[in-house]
Structure 1
Amino acid sequence: MTEVTVRAMTPEEFDSWQDELAAGYAQEHVAAGNWTAEEALDRARRESAAFLPQGIATPGMLFLLGALADGSPVGRLWIGLNHPRGVAGCAFLYDIEVAAEHRGRGLGRALLAAGERAAREHGAEALELNVFGANETARRLYETSGYRVVTQQMRKDLPA
């Protein structure tokens, strides 16, 4: 597996990532049928702002940029050191993304492993995440990286 290292995002990298994060999160919710396309981007931005009231300086959050040995960036991670539902010793992976030009080369697995090391270095004993059901690629990555389902949300559409 290719080695990926992580470092803290700069404020400029954080600001750029916030725009991309909101757009991607909005798309996932629209695809899942949770939000309409018209409301999605505003809702995504509001949710992010609620989680990050102090932006990059929000306590208990890691905003990491992943890079190869030559320093070229390959992706980003957002890890909360305090679980949103208060699970003791468990950090939470809010976001992981490999840049489009680096996908399909095993770098997602390497970036995930680097994020796990960073969480462990900050005292986490476990790392939890949510994944949209339609995101088969991400689900396979997590399953083959040792993650297991601990809760599951299901939906059935009820036609009129």
Structure 2
Amino acid sequence: MPFDPDRPAPANGMKYRTSYGYILAGPDERGCCVIHELWVTPEHRGKGLGRVFVGHVRTWAREHGLSPLIVHCSPGNQHGRGFYEALGMRAVAVVYQDDLLE
């Protein structure tokens, strides 16, 4: 699914958007807060904006009693994995998939 800065927030969720990027997050059925999308324009990456966006989600999640904060990141996304680990997050699951339409 391509990034779409006009995509609405998930049901009962939140969206934080600037001209440099956006983040979408919301609760899941277990009371966790899930980051669904995080995107920063290429020319503004590496300037701390992703950290600011995640900070807004963390504040929103705490205000709504949601924990833990979860984000799905593919194993091959070394930049994303490094980013989330630098924020103090840790990998806790292995997910398997079967590409049924290929």
Establish whether TM, by shorter chain, passes 0.5. yes
Structure 1 outlier segments of 4+, above 3 Å? 55-58
Equivalent pair of 2:10/2:25 in contact (CA under 8 Å)? no
Q: Does 1:98 align with 2:77?
A: no
Residues 1:64 and 2:16 are matched in the alignment: yes
Structure number with larger C-alpha Rg: 1
The normalised TM-score by structure 1 is 0.51
Unaligned runs of 5+ residues in structure 1 are 1-21, 25-54, 68-72, 156-160
Instruction: Please state how far the C-alpha of 1:57 moved relative to its aligned partner.
Output: 7.3
RMSD: 2.3
SS in 2 for 1:23: coil
Greater share of helix residues, 1 or 2? 1
TM-score (norm 2): 0.75
Q: Is the 8 A contact 2:10 2:26 kept in 1?
A: no
Matched position secondary structure for 2:20? strand
Match of 1:32 in 2: none
Distance 2:94 2:24 in 1: 22
Unaligned runs of 5+ in 2: 98-102
Q: Which residue of 2 aligns with 1:80?
A: 26
**Residue aligning to 1:35:** none
* 1:9-24 correspondence runs (5 A): 22-24=1-3
